A and B are shown apart, each in its own frame.
Chain A
Amino acid sequence: MSPSERVSTRTDQPTDREQQVLDRIEKARRRKPKVREERITSAHGAGGKATQTLVEAVFLDAFRNPALEPLGDAAQLTVGDARLAMTTDSFVVSPLFFPGGTIGDLAVNGTVNDLAVTGATPLYLSCGFILEEGFPVADLRRIVSSMTAAAEAAGVMLVTGDTKVVGKGTGDGCYINTTGIGVLDPDRALGIETACPGDAVIVSGPVGDHGITIMLARGELDIEADQLESDTAPLHDLCRTLLDAVPGVRAMRDATRGGVATILNEVAQAAQVSVVVNENTVPVRDEVRGASELLGIDPLYVACEGRLVAIVDGDKANDALAALRQHPLGTDAAIIGHVGDDPPGMVLINTTFGGTRIMDLLVGDPLPRIC
């Protein structure tokens, strides 16, 4: 077997018989996704291929309607003359308290960010609590007070809520669901499907801080990183700054589960373009890089909770970058790549070492590896 067949590339043209096999694979790829597992596994919640398949094959199939179909961060709705954005998110993080934030911060910022990256001004949030019997009220107060502060910072009001208590052992202390509503600018339409060759890919700061913080906070790995904390933050003001500064913003996403790599794969697939990332331009903190090296995972797949990925017209990229860097949440923003035309649907990364590889969606969570 040649290296070309093994890793991403080949040097020769396929023979007829080989082409038949390749055609068969292509046909299989285009087939409607099917959930093969008989039961839900943790991979279905990791944001990668398994999640995508579950959402498309089970939920989208059953609920299909024009507002749901784009599967964006928030649904875009028209009510009378108003254009609204609506989104919902559930938070099940463990531990509930970690360096840089709490589950409460995430619950507010996560939903605010899903609205903000759609281009909406976030207005109202609901919050549903699922509490486990025996959960300390002091902890609940601490979570709620962090939600109050986060809501104030994001300029949103928590206007309705719900509380349920489940038996001891059937929950993990505290789960939170938040739903958010915001108003969309009637003159602006953003969408990852509008990405064009020549566009630039920008991230608003170092990647992977939140995911690595959580992994280390679980205390199972005996790795310590004193300086590292979650990047949880509301992105509404940063998004507004970017949109006001330059025309030509095609799309914005917040890189949560699955990290920047997953977002870029979604962009490539939705717009049928390629995305090329230059590894040496991706901002990564030393602590995150060090932990990732030890664990054998790639920071580009690790979750952030306050990082914007923007696809911007290439001609406006430098202006966009300058605008982001003016904002306290975007001081380390960087252009990390560009949109191309070939191969459609693929993300490529030029490595710091000087090679190129395909950066695909993961099936489930990135796992620490020994080999």
Chain B
Amino acid sequence: MRFVDEFRDAEKARALSAEIANLCEPGREYKFMEVCGGHTHTIYKHGIEDYLPENIRLVHGPGCPVCVIPMGRVDDAIHIASQPDVVMTSFGDMMRVPGSGGNFFDSNAEGTNIRMVYSPLDSLKIARQNPDTHVVFMAIGFETTTPSTAMTLKRAAAEGIENFSVFCNHVTIIPAIKAILDSPDLRLDGFIGPGHVSTVIGCRPYEFIAGDYHKPVVVAGFEPLDILQSIYQLLLQLREGRCVVENQYARVVPWAGNTVALKAIAETMVLRPYFEWRGLGFISHSAMRVRDEFAAFDAERIFEMPGVRVADPKACQCGEVLKGVLKPWECKVFGTACTPETPIGTCMVSPEGACAAYYNYGRFTRTRIREASAHEPV
């Protein structure tokens, strides 16, 4: 398949892997954070870690946009969906994220109508087809998905659709990265920058990471060779004593971002003073709300919101696990109150989250898996 297979070539991977090993200084440990949940998925899906030497550790960042939605917002969404004649829509990933009383599937079993859509424009279509209902789109995601919500708001306004609104939960990546950088107990050697987000915001917003915090950043694509190449570029910067933002994903990411998309966002949404992140707590200016001009399409103004903050259970130590300070098994609720079947924090919600993966597979050593798979070691 074109545009896919050429980025999954095992020959090239082996060559890159050797160069990566050459760049590593013996005895030094490297910790790189992949900010984006999509990268974590790629790393997991293709088994990329089998190509990395033992002293390179990839730290899973806060970039899974569904996993960071706090319980209270899920509860709010279910509250809206429970109103008469409301159809709630959201992305597939959102369906299994737990609120305090269950997820969207559980809620549907109680009688709500929460549907999966692939694009907010599909929600608008449902609204057009069902004039007797009110269709709400639960908007989630970083800057990657925000422009599509913005365009949908603009189209709804242009068409004068009266039975459609957006429950806005869009979050912004930079404040989350900053929150992690400001954590006193964190040691990271560099960042694999979020490629999808960067198609919208470009590479400039990361310059403070290199400039102020002296950590190299490589904005990376989502195919396995992209990830390996970005790790190579990070190591090369460290070896040469450089510290800059580099764009590995230049085939898609323009340095200045997508100005049309940014304009659409600015026209329809503004920053919230603060927003709660599951596991990380409140972070200022880290999320968007619908602009006053589009108030008629803002679910938070149309519906009375309980807005009750459901605190992450105190014992949940997701934040520490996310920052790599604690290992999953060291968290107080790990494996007791918090399991993959009844997840509390973001690291257990996502199947690739640190805690879920450790719960399911922590008992296997890498050597055992390699031997069992009868795979030639790299």
Contact = CB atoms under 8 A, between A and B. Distances in A.
Interface of A: 1-14, 17-18, 21-22, 24-26, 28, 36-37, 39-43, 220-222, 274, 276, 286, 289-290, 293, 295-296, 298, 338, 340, 342-343, 346, 348, 350-358, 360, 363-364, 367-371
Given A7-B49, A276-B372, A369-B92, A41 B329 contact: no
Contacts, number: 214
A370 to B, nearest CB: 5
A1 B321 contact: yes
Nearest to A290: B1
B63 A6 contact: no
B22 interface: no
Nearest to B66: A371
Nearest to B228: A353
B49 A4 contact: yes
A282 B218 CA distance: 34
Nearest to A39: B109
A355 B375 CA distance: 8
Contacts of B361: 7-9, 358
Nearest to B359: A25
A274 B93 CA distance: 30
Nearest to A286: B1
Given A274-B372, A348-B369, 12 more contacts: A3-B52, A7-B43, A7-B357, A7-B361, A10-B365, A36-B341, A37-B106, A41-B108, A222-B122, A276-B374, A346-B364, A356-B370
24 contacts: A1-B328, A3-B43, A4-B49, A5-B357, A9-B365, A10-B365, A11-B365, A11-B366, A18-B327, A18-B329, A24-B335, A28-B339, A41-B106, A43-B105, A220-B118, A276-B373, A296-B41, A350-B375, A354-B14, A355-B51, A360-B360, A368-B93, A369-B41, A371-B41
A221 B118 contact: yes
B105 to A, nearest CB: 4
Nearest to A46: B105
Interface in B299-325: 321, 324
List the 10 closest A-B pairs by CB distance, nearest first: A355-B47, A9-B366, A367-B92, A39-B109, A354-B10, A41-B105, A368-B92, A353-B46, A371-B37, A355-B50
A21 B335 contact: yes
A18 B118 CA distance: 41
B362 to A, nearest CB: 6
A42 B95 CA distance: 11
A228 B54 CA distance: 44
A1 B48 contact: no
A369 B93 contact: yes
A6 to B, nearest CB: 5
Contacts of A296: 41
